[in-house]
């Protein structure tokens, strides 16, 4: 399925809505079903020991689900996360970016559900999994 905008348009929109996004995240792939995003790992994302912190992984999963949803419905600044679950399964490797692979499982009238697997770049085993539910504001009356 095709996305309703390009990755560049999406990135411009993200930067407008979340100014910190530009220095933290990059879109690697984006179509209407699957989205791949990168956390540009920097010191501020790390815990002692050099591993990426839980809140940074949450932020990566959250923005990936947002992008996966917007890729289908277009710009909706008011979409908000209503629920998430995460399992932290392995310690991310120090000195590597994280890659999130997000699959949109459902796009309903008022909710989207996205499944996310997070990897240390170049590794096969996921470091975390997440499910994110977004609430989509009702379309304006025509």
Residues that bind a copy of itself (CB under 8 A): 17-19, 47-48, 53-56, 58-59, 62, 80-91, 105-106, 108, 110-111, 113, 115, 117, 125-126, 129, 131, 133, 135
Q: Which is nearer to a copy of itself, 42 or 89 (CB)?
A: 89
Residue 124 CA to residue 119 CA, distance in Å, equals 7
Q: Compute the least distance from the CB of residue 95 to a copy of itself, in Å.
A: 19
Q: Compute the least distance from the CB of residue 106 to a copy of itself, in Å.
A: 4
Residue 76 CA to residue 63 CA, distance in Å, equals 13
Q: Compute the least distance from the CB of residue 8 to a copy of itself, in Å.
A: 21
Nearest 5°: CA angle at 58, between 2 and 21?
A: 65
Which pair of tokens denotes residue 109? 């009238």
Tell me what percent of the chain is helix, strand and coil, each rounded to the nearest 5: 25, 35, 35
Q: Which is nearer to a copy of itself, 93 or 115 (CB)?
A: 115
Residue 25 CA to residue 32 CA, distance in Å, equals 19
Q: Compute the least distance from the CB of residue 34 to a copy of itself, in Å.
A: 15
Q: Which is nearer to a copy of itself, 6 or 110 (CB)?
A: 110
Q: Which is nearer to a copy of itself, 58 or 121 (CB)?
A: 58
Residue 22 CA to residue 11 CA, distance in Å, equals 8
């Amino acid at each position: 399925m095709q996305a309703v905008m390009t990755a560049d348009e999406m990135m411009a929109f993200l930067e407008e809505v979340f100014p910190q996004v530009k220095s933290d995240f990059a879109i690697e792939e984006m179509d209407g079903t699957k989205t791949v995003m990168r956390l540009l790992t920097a010191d501020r994302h790390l815990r002692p020991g050099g591993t990426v912190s839980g809140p940074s992984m949450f932020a990566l999963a959250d923005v990936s689900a947002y992008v996966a949803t917007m890729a289908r419905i277009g710009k909706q600044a008011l979409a908000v996360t209503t629920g998430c679950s995460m399992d932290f399964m392995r310690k991310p490797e120090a000195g590597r970016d994280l890659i999130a692979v997000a699959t949109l499982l459902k796009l309903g009238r008022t909710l989207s559900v996205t499944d996310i697997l997070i990897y240390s770049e170049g590794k096969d085993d996921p470091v975390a999994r997440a499910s994110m539910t977004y609430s989509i504001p009702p379309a304006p009356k025509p």
